[in-house]
Amino acid sequence: MTAGSILQKFRKVEMILLALLIYIKYKEAMGTTKKKMGRPPLPPEKRRSKIVMLRLTDEEAKFLKSAAEKTGLTLSEVLRRGGLEYGKRLQARRQGKP
């Protein structure tokens, strides 16, 4: 083997190692800067996990959907707020408050 061919092989190995090092550094950088998509999970006490089934007439459903669209809320939020407000009023009435 001549000195030229040894030098040529050394350069090839050097280029392969350099490419490998660049790839490893790239993967490390990508792994540390990768962000999770979506919003962070809610704490357990704020999670809404209970489902309530509700039957409505066509007229009732249209009325509630219209109310949701007008207020910019979801149908679920309109029903949730309405039900909670109704419950608060019932409790106040039972306790003798107007």
The pTM (predicted TM-score) of the whole model is 0.55
12 exposed, middle or buried (CB, 10 Å; 0-12, 13-18, 19+)?
Answer: exposed
Can you spell out the DSSP letters for 28-80? HHHHHH----SPPPPPGGG-----------HHHHHHHHHHHHHHT--HHHHHH
Write down the mean pLDDT value for the chain: 88
Answer whether 75's CB lies under 8 Å from 63's CB.
no
For residue range 15-61, list pLDDT tens digits in order: 999 999 998 888 887 776 566 688 888 999 999 989 999 999 999 99
Residues listed for the chain: 98
Indicate the domain borders of the chain. Answer: 1-33, 51-94
Long-range CB contacts for residues 90-96, cutoff 8 Å, separation at least 24: none
